[in-house]
Amino acid sequence: MIRKILMAFVLCLSFSSHANAYGPFGLGIVIAGPTGLSANYFYEKQKSLAMAVGWGHSDVQVHVDHLWYRGDLIVVDRVPIDVYMGLGLHLHTIDKKYKDDETQIGVRVPVGVSYIFRKIPVQLFGELAPALILVEESAFNIDIALGIRYYF
C-alpha cells in the first residue's frame, strides 16, 4: 500500500514538471501533519492544487487539497502575506502488526498563511487543517503543518 501511494505521488509530480524556470510548481518538505514531501501547483494566480505525502514508523498519510489564496488580508511592512483556505481529501493508512490494517478516508478544510520570497523562489507556509474522517470510523482530526517549498 505504501509503495502504491508513493508511486501516485511521483506520477503527480511528473505531470507537473513542465513548468518554466521559477514557474508555478513547488516541491519541498512539510513537518508535523504529515512529515514528508509537499508539492503545490498554481494553475491560476490565486488558485492551486497542493499535495503532501508523509510517513511514520507504521503509517502513511496523504492529502490533496484545492486552495484559494488572498494576498491582501495581512500586510506587514508593505509585504503581503498570503492567506489561503481550501477543501481536500485525507487518506491515512496504519499498519497494525497483529491486527487488520486501518485506512481512514475523510474531508479536510485547510486554512493557512504563506510567503514567497521576492528574490528567490522559496515559499514558507503554515496551516491548520480540520478533517472529518468518514471511512473506517467517524472521527475528527486536526492536522498542523509547517513547510518550505522551492518553485521551478
Q: Which CATH architecture has domain 2-151?
A: Beta Barrel (2.40)
133 pLDDT above the threshold of 80: yes
Q: Label residue 36 left, alpha or beta by phi (over 0 means left) and psi (-120 to 50 means alpha).
A: left
Query: Quick one: which of 54, 74, 73 has its CA closest to 64?
Result: 54
pLDDT of residue 20: 37
Domain boundaries, the chain: 2-151
pLDDT of residue 17: 39
- The single-letter DSSP state of residue 114 is E
Task: Supply the mean pLDDT for the chain.
Answer: 85
- The single-letter DSSP state of residue 67 is E
Global pTM? 0.80
- The single-letter DSSP state of residue 69 is E
41, amino acid identity: Y
Please report which confidence band the pLDDT of residue 4 belongs to, taking 50, 70 and 90 as the band edges.
low
pLDDT, tens digit (0-9, with 9 covering 90-100), for 34-80: 799 999 999 998 999 999 999 887 889 999 999 999 988 888 888 88
pLDDT of residue 39: 97
What is the average per-residue pLDDT within 109-117?
Answer: 95
- The single-letter DSSP state of residue 98 is T
